[in-house]
C-alpha cells in the first residue's frame, strides 16, 4: 500500500540507521526535516483516506473514539508486559550484577525469560485481534454504505493475493491504514480542521 518515491524511502532508512546506532554523538535530524518526512508519510496515507470522503462530522466521532481505543490498548499492553516481570525482577537484577564480573546467564533465568516472552507474545496477539475488531466495528458504525464499499474495494485492489469476505478486507484496511499508522490521530485532526465548515466572513 506504500507508494512513496524510492529516493525518499532510501534516504529515510539511511537517516533512521544513523539514529539507531546508540552513540550519544549521533546526528539528530533537524525538526524541519523530520516534519518533511512526517508530511511524506501523511501524503502516502491520504492516498487511502481521501477516497473515503470522510466528513468533518464523521471525523468528530472517529477521532475521540480512536484516542480512547489507543489509550485503552496501550494500557493493556503495558500491563501484560510489566506484571509478569515483577515476579522475577529481583532475580534479573542479581543476575545482572553477577554477570558484570563475568560468567554467563543461568539456564533457569534464561528459560524463565523466554517463557515470559512467549506468553507475552501470545497475549499481545489476542489483544491486537480484540483491538482490531473494536476499532473496525467503531469506525464501520460511522461510515455510509458507499464509504464501506469504497474501503473494501481499495483493500481488494491493494492486497490482490489475499482472500476473504468484505468484512475481512475492511478489517485489513483498518489495520494497515488506521491502527498501524502512529500519526493517524494528528492526521485525522488536520483533516477535520480542513473539512470543517468555514465561517462566513461577510458582515451582517
pLDDT, mean over the chain: 87
Count of other CB atoms within 10 angstroms of residue 172: 21
pLDDT, residue 160, reads: 96
Average pLDDT over residues 165-194: 97
Average pLDDT over residues 26-44: 87
Per-residue pLDDT tens digits for 98-131: 899 998 888 888 898 889 999 999 999 999 999 9
Per-residue pLDDT tens digits for 125-169: 999 999 999 999 999 999 999 999 999 999 999 999 999 999 999
pLDDT, residue 104, reads: 87
- Sorting pLDDT into bands at 50, 70 and 90, what band is 96? very high
Copy the grid coordinates of residue 112: 524463565
pLDDT, residue 158, reads: 97
pLDDT, residue 177, reads: 97
Rounded CA-CA distance 63/65 in Å is 5
pLDDT, residue 110, reads: 84
Rounded to a whole number of angstroms, the CA Rg of the chain reads 22
Q: Which residue has the higher pLDDT, 184 or 114?
A: 184
Answer for the pair 167, 148: CB distance below 8 angstroms, yes or no.
no
Range in 19-28, 39-48, 164-173 the model is least confident about:
19-28
Q: Which residue has the higher pLDDT, 92 or 186?
A: 186
Q: What angle do CA 84, 85, 90 make, to 5 degrees?
A: 135
pLDDT, residue 68, reads: 98
pLDDT, residue 1, reads: 43
User: Where are the chain's structural domains?
Assistant: 6-15+28-192
Q: Which residues of 76-86 are buried (b: 16+ CB within 10 A; e: fewer)?
A: ebeebeeebee
Copy the grid coordinates of residue 70: 489507543
- Sorting pLDDT into bands at 50, 70 and 90, what band is 171? very high
Rounded CA-CA distance 163/160 in Å is 8
Amino acid at each position: 500500500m506504500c507508494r512513496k518515491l524510492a529516493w525518499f524511502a532510501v534516504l529515510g532508512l539511511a537517516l533512521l540507521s544513523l539514529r539507531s546506532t546508540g552513540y550519544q554523538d549521533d546526528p539528530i535530524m533537524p525538526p524541519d526535516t523530520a516534519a518533511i518526512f512526517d508530511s511524506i508519510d501523511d501524503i502516502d496515507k491520504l492516498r487511502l483516506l481521501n477516497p473515503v470522503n470522510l466528513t468533518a462530522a464523521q471525523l468528530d466521532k472517529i477521532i475521540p473514539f480512536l484516542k480512547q481505543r489507543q489509550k485503552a490498548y496501550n494500557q493493556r499492553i503495558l500491563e501484560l508486559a510489566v506484571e509478569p516481570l515483577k515476579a522475577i525482577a529481583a532475580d534479573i537484577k542479581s543476575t545482572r550484577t553477577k554477570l558484570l564480573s563475568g560468567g554467563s546467564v543461568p539456564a533457569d533465568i534464561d528459560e524463565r525469560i523466554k517463557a515470559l516472552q512467549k506468553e507475552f507474545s501470545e497475549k499481545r496477539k489476542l489483544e491486537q485481534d480484540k483491538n482490531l475488531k473494536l476499532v473496525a466495528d467503531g469506525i464501520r458504525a460511522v461510515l455510509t454504505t458507499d464509504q464501506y464499499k469504497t474501503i473494501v474495494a481499495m483493500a481488494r485492489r491493494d492486497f490482490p493475493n489475499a482472500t476473504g469476505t468484505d468484512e475481512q478486507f475492511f478489517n485489513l484496511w483498518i489495520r494497515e491504514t488506521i491502527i498501524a499508522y502512529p500519526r493517524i490521530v494528528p492526521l485525522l485532526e488536520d483533516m477535520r480542521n480542513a473539512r470543517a465548515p468555514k465561517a462566513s466572513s461577510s458582515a451582517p
